[in-house]
Structure 1
Amino acid sequence: MTATPLQLAVVQPKQVPQGTPDFEQKRSAILEAFAKTVPSELRLPADLVASPPLDVSKIPSTCGILTPKEVDITEDYDAVGLAEAIAARKLTAVEVAIAFSKRAIIAHQLTCCLTQWFMGDAIKQAKELDEYLEKNGKTIGPLHGVPVSIKEHMPIAGTYSSQGSFASVVFDEKDSHMVSILRRMGAVFYCKTNQPQLIMHLETTSHYGRTLNPFNIHLSSGGSSGGEGALVAMKGSVLGIGTDIGGSIRGPSAFCGIYGFKPTSYTMPMKGFLAHAFAAELNVLCSTGPMCRSMKDMDLLMRIVLSAKPHLVDPKLVPIPWTGLNTSITKPLKIGIIQNDGFIDPQPPVKRAIAWAQKQLSDPKYSDLFQVKQFKPYNAEEAWDMIRRIYWPDGGQGAKDDVISSGEPVLPLSDWIWKEAAPHGMLNADGVNQLRATRDDFRFKFAESWNEQDVDIVIGPAFVGPACAHDTAFYWTYTSLYNLVDYPGVVVPTPIKAEAKEEYAPDYKPLSEACNHVKELWESSNFEGAPIDLQINARKYHDNELFGALTVLKDVLELR
């Protein structure tokens, strides 16, 4: 990116589309306001930003901006470990806030992962926490002093939020429900992270810029929680909060090689997340959950948020007690392995990751723990067509009008995601109701198929490939399926990475036109270095059982 003297230089190998002159002037004003918050000593050299390496993930620890102790703080702990170290007074909340604030702004210059950065506020909050611990000899709560990054659309008092368009930016006077719980638990807020236009792409490109994959900047960080994915992967955050209505936690977590969890709907609080209702939730419900570095951190967030009894504030929530990683699995775990969904065969490194997991699980020494079998998801192609229709009961026109009202350009992936619904225009109440009936019929058949195949959990792809090339996040089939049926899903890292010049098998035959397109996308880009996560799913409201399964799988799948 070529920055004006008033702007902060940020790596942007592929520029975002331009809007009207008036829009670009307003966009520049936002970027200039951001730049004013960043002191010169925290800015990377101009030549590095102008000519970055393919993999920028190691730059924060080697660029000289962080002290050795700050490198240790940001790299050697997960959220559980940080909370313990602060409570034991091995670290102060202030030095932790400074370390993560500095690393976050370095990460932003390399990946465009932030929308706001407020280091001064974080230090002030951390100082108050240190003083409380010194005076009272105890912490405020289980997240005392732990920095938590927050996705752009979730209100934090005194900051801005949006619904994925310039026209929807608002200043928030108070915290959203989730943020208020985390604040009471002692979390320190220091940044907000980028999301895509309309919060409905599996790539994060917005009026703030295009978020990059830390391990290959010509690839996407995913979406819609792509800023969170990149920031956690760059170790500029130890724990982030994302949302997921089609893969928006699991996709970016998988693209960036971190842990991410989408709970069953109405499990975690989302009150206040959006200023205006989103019509997609008439039939497909969103979830919120953690994006982080370990299983323990996913479990930590779920446990402490649900311990606050958020259902007493939001009656939509189902008050299911959380047992998480301590959930007992008393019988051999029946595991279904998904090679493909019958619609799109995954790209080569994903197939290698599935083969690795199957080999690990099939070792005879684990025969008393697991029963491993093949699993085929019910009618993934129908699910993909259906959910893209259900997302936009108005044909997408309302979202399009919102975007263009400010002169903002409609991005290609916005047109892509509503093109299935656009020809139908605005549905009436009966039309929306018929979509619900069709959805429910699919859910019944999906559950019947799951029961016939007799599995407790399934393990398979999180995406059709590793991270995708920019502007090619077309097929979310492996994640959106579980939003349609409302099953919980977690993505976990594997030791597998994409390699240069990997090829499809000689006997490959496409399962569909989309499958052939995915092969073409693979052959037209370089995916070298991209990490591979796998997705693990359980039945609806079997979130605890899913985490119990993770405990059993921990050593076998080399989970942290």
Structure 2
Amino acid sequence: MVARPLTVIQPKAIPLGTPEFEEKRAALLRTLEESIPREYYLPQEIFDKNPVDVSTIPSTCGLLSPEEIQITEQYDAVSLAEAIATRKLTAVAVAKAFCKRAAIAHQLTCCLTQFFEEKALQKAAELDEYLEKNGKTIGPLHGVPISIKEHMPTAGLYSSAGEYSTIVKDDEDALLIRILREAGAVFYCKTNQPQAIMHLETDSYWGRTLNPHNIHLSAGGSTGGEAALIAMKGSVLGIGTDIGGSIRGPSAFCGIYGFKPTSYTLPMTGMLHNPFPAELNVLCSIGPMCRTMRDMELFTSLILDAKPYLEDPRLIPIPWTGLKTEVPKKLKIGIISNDGFIDPQPPVKRAVAWAKKQVSDPKYADLFEVKDFTPYDAAGAWSKIRRMYWPDGAEGMKEAITCTGEPILPLSAWIWKDAEPAGMQTATGVSHMRKERDDYRIAFAKAWNEQDVDVVIGPCFVGPASAHDTAFYWTYTSLYNFVDYPGVVFPTPIKSEAGEQYASDYKPLSDECKHVKQLWEEGNFEGAPIDLQINARKYHDNQLFGALTLLKDALQLP
């Protein structure tokens, strides 16, 4: 009897490249398949049922023991570290549980690119031996499994910038990866990202990552593999990067936490082998994706405690007070119902209304002052950032994709289409872009100050998770990359329901707004979780976390 190959659900295939490219791609997929033990293969009958919500399958499929289910579901990173340090759990048992669950999650969502259980178990055994011998841990993440986004250089593994032609084997860790390793983290897998790392949907030569709550919806991007894996509880803590919503978008789509710091807060040092022209105008940030608020705090504080600014002088050495930050006696909260450009789809409007009601409860009258808020010229920001991502007219990216016969995916062509006609900019042209950006930032700050708020709460996206290949409008996240304000997305109790409709008095704010309504009416978003976003001024990352502490009870934040 011939053993069946590993089944990975793909309800919508990605376009094919040349025969030569597809042959190379097939070899990559075989390598990943061969790294997953056969005893981790899901029974065929699970796939035969054509599940839509796959989020609970890992705990019911029979492959995980009761202890492994408990390890992966009942702990966050903080409590895992404590359980290992006190020897309630071994690092080996924890690593084994998350490896198994990650392998199961991949079959259901296509979230992985590399899987290296043997290395993880070896490292975990060394950590257990160290603890036994020395009676102490090597750092705050001793034995905690951490998943890693595909492009992040990690010693002994492969990375790429989202195109097949950029795959390299790395000899050294990027700075942040090294800090995590020295803190005792156990690395066990790498996760999927989009072509060019520039979609709000994770589709690449590795396949299309699916939303665990509804596989016909996107898991988001660019850090969609991480978001799906964490939502499937195959990871407790992952690392994302964000230049337009790449932490916040997938975290929101999958119903978890994600933190985009102000740029140059946490180190991006060594995270890409080649410079990205977009960063001439819009800087990328790096941050945690996880299931609890305190895990965001753990990640951020331990990275900053390592004083990465001593190695990377671009970083701003702001002392971290995080969740313990004192905030104004009465926090001024702006509520964004829409950004004046695109009115969100019905479940997002319900979530915003829920949050407004929660913080407006009379019992919080001494803590919060709540007011409506409208961001300054969101349509203008979207138009500008779409051009400024590609000061080279995307020429470099297109060449990197097509040189191997790899196909240009639909959302790649979409995101650079406004910049493409202008082609490669001159130095003078880029300088004018920067002035346009800075003029906008000053006007945005002025409008924020005039509305007199400390933080704003609003949508993360125009809707819940988008249907595949329709993540067109990132306006609610990219705005804060353009002005470089920090943001956290957090889960709410709201989920998308069948049969929800727009209000009878709806009037579109723009052609894009009308298109978003059309996408809602054409899709089925049932079961998709809804996150909301909270933002603070640039460099006010501590104050943002202080606000989260104050909002914890009102917004039911785990």
**Normalising by the residue count of structure 1, what TM-score does the alignment of the two structures yield?**
0.99
Query: Is structure 2 residue 49 aligned with structure 1 residue 55?
Result: no
What per-residue deviation string (whole Å, max 9, x for no partner) do you get for residues 91-150 of structure 1?
A: 000000000000001000000001001011000000000000000000000000000001
**C-alpha contact (below 8 Å) 1:7/1:32 kept by paired residues:** no
Matches within 5 A, 1:419-430: 419-430=417-428
Counterpart for residue 555 of structure 1:
553
What per-residue deviation string (whole Å, max 9, x for no partner) do you get for residues 388-425 of structure 1?
A: 10000011111011100010000010000000100100
**C-alpha contact (below 8 Å) 1:261/1:489 kept by paired residues:** yes
Q: Distance in 2 between matches of 1:182 and 1:18?
A: 37
**C-alpha contact (below 8 Å) 1:8/1:32 kept by paired residues:** no
Q: Distance in 2 between matches of 1:547 and 1:428?
A: 40
What per-residue deviation string (whole Å, max 9, x for no partner) do you get for residues 12-63 of structure 1?
A: 0001110000000000000111111111110012342354311000000010
Query: Is structure 2 residue 334 aligned with structure 1 residue 336?
Result: yes
Counterpart for residue 174 of structure 1:
172
Q: Distance in 1 between matches of 2:25 and 2:327?
A: 52
2:383 to 380, 385, 400: 385
Q: Distance in 2 between matches of 1:141 and 1:52?
A: 44
Matches within 5 A, 1:333-372: 333-372=331-370
Q: Distance in 1 between matches of 2:512 and 2:69?
A: 44
Matches within 5 A, 1:444-523: 444-523=442-521
Counterpart for residue 282 of structure 2:
284
Unpaired runs of at least 5, structure 1: none
Q: Which AA in structure 1 matches 2:400?
A: D
Q: Which AA in structure 1 matches 2:169?
A: F
Q: Distance in 1 between matches of 2:550 and 2:5?
A: 49
Q: Distance in 2 between matches of 1:274 and 1:451?
A: 36
Matches within 5 A, 1:72-151: 72-151=70-149
Q: Which AA in structure 1 matches 2:487?
A: G
**C-alpha contact (below 8 Å) 1:10/1:49 kept by paired residues:** no
Identity %: 70
Q: Distance in 2 between matches of 1:51 and 1:221?
A: 21
Name whichever of 64-73 and 44-53 sits farther off.
Answer: 44-53
Q: Distance in 1 between matches of 2:35 and 2:29?
A: 10
Matches within 5 A, 1:2-401: 7-401=5-399
Distance apart, 1:7 and its partner CA: 4.6
Inter-CA distance 87–227: structure 2 relative to 1 (3 Å threshold): same
**C-alpha contact (below 8 Å) 1:79/1:146 kept by paired residues:** yes
What per-residue deviation string (whole Å, max 9, x for no partner) do you get for residues 250-296 of structure 1?
A: 00000000000000000001111101000000010000000000000
Describe the SS at the equivalent of 1:195. coil
**C-alpha contact (below 8 Å) 1:260/1:290 kept by paired residues:** yes
Q: Which AA in structure 1 matches 2:283?
A: L
Q: Distance in 2 between matches of 1:405 and 1:314?
A: 34
Q: Distance in 1 between matches of 2:148 and 2:86?
A: 26
Q: Which AA in structure 2 matches 1:233?
A: A
Q: How many residue pairs end up in the alignment? A: 557
Q: Distance in 2 between matches of 1:253 and 1:397?
A: 30
Distance apart, 1:174 and its partner CA: 1.2
Inter-CA distance 419–176: structure 2 relative to 1 (3 Å threshold): same
Q: Which AA in structure 2 matches 1:453?
A: Q
What per-residue deviation string (whole Å, max 9, x for no partner) do you get for residues 135-173 of structure 1?
A: 000000000000000100001111110000011111111
Name whichever of 322-331 and 544-553 sits farther off.
Answer: 322-331
**C-alpha contact (below 8 Å) 1:8/1:31 kept by paired residues:** no
What per-residue deviation string (whole Å, max 9, x for no partner) do you get for residues 435-472 of structure 1?
A: 00000000000000000000000000000000000000
What per-residue deviation string (whole Å, max 9, x for no partner) do you get for residues 302-331 of structure 1?
A: 000000000011111011111000101241
Describe the SS at the equivalent of 1:261. strand
Describe the SS at the equivalent of 2:35. coil
Q: Distance in 1 between matches of 2:346 and 2:236?
A: 30
Distance apart, 1:5 and its partner CA: 6.3
**C-alpha contact (below 8 Å) 1:11/1:52 kept by paired residues:** no
Q: Which AA in structure 2 matches 1:243?
A: T
Describe the SS at the equivalent of 2:238. strand
Q: Which AA in structure 1 matches 2:320?
A: W
Q: Distance in 2 between matches of 1:106 and 1:498?
A: 26
Q: Distance in 2 between matches of 1:296 and 1:52?
A: 36
What per-residue deviation string (whole Å, max 9, x for no partner) do you get for residues 212-263 of structure 1?
A: 0000000000000000000000000000000000000000000000000000
Inter-CA distance 20–349: structure 2 relative to 1 (3 Å threshold): same
Inter-CA distance 50–269: structure 2 relative to 1 (3 Å threshold): farther
Q: Distance in 2 between matches of 1:50 and 1:20?
A: 31
Q: Which AA in structure 2 matches 1:335?
A: I
Q: Which AA in structure 2 matches 1:159?
A: L
Describe the SS at the equivalent of 1:300. helix
Matches within 5 A, 1:399-438: 399-438=397-436
Describe the SS at the equivalent of 2:283. coil
Q: Which AA in structure 1 matches 2:57?
A: I
Describe the SS at the equivalent of 1:36. helix
**C-alpha contact (below 8 Å) 1:11/1:50 kept by paired residues:** no
Describe the SS at the equivalent of 1:442. helix
Q: Which AA in structure 1 matches 2:145?
A: P
**C-alpha contact (below 8 Å) 1:49/1:109 kept by paired residues:** no
**C-alpha contact (below 8 Å) 1:6/1:32 kept by paired residues:** no
**C-alpha contact (below 8 Å) 1:457/1:539 kept by paired residues:** yes
**C-alpha contact (below 8 Å) 1:462/1:479 kept by paired residues:** yes
Q: Which AA in structure 2 matches 1:259?
A: Y
